[in-house]
Amino acid sequence: MKQLIILTILSLGISLGASAQQLVYTPINPAFGGNPNNTAHLVNTATAQNKTVDPDATDRFSFSSGSDLDNFTESLNSQILSQLSRSLVDLQFGEGEIEDGSYAAGNFQIDIANTLDGVVVTILDTNGGEQTQLIIPFF
């Protein structure tokens, strides 16, 4: 009987000493209220686990699979468009000049005109007929 009383007192003492605290859920994903610093880690983890391959994707670091002449033409057109864009930026920010007129680069017809609003660049894709117009304002 004495052992039963001691055992009862010990079990009451242990249960009174235990304490509980409230559990709080904190989301990991920033889209659901988590820490925004988790974004890069979550994206990198998802990218590492992604095993699907786009069959229509092209390698952006290699030339097209055409002939050497096609590759040369593509490279030349790219350099012409790059030089034209550099000239436009230099013109607007005070370092160079570009003449008004029309330029042909590969499949593009580029018209440049100085207006009161700024430099107007019209780019026409001669293959698809799509046209884009850029207005670079004067500062």
Residue type at 18? A
Q: Please give the chain's pLDDT, 139 residues, in tens.
A: 667 677 677 666 555 555 678 888 888 888 888 888 989 999 999 889 988 887 777 666 555 567 788 888 788 888 888 888 777 767 665 665 667 888 777 788 888 888 888 888 888 888 888 898 888 777 6
Map residue 17 onto helix, strand or coil: helix
pTM score, two decimals?
0.39
38 by Cβ neighbours in 10 Å (0-12 / 13-18 / 19+) ranks as middle
Q: Domain boundaries in the chain?
A: 68-137
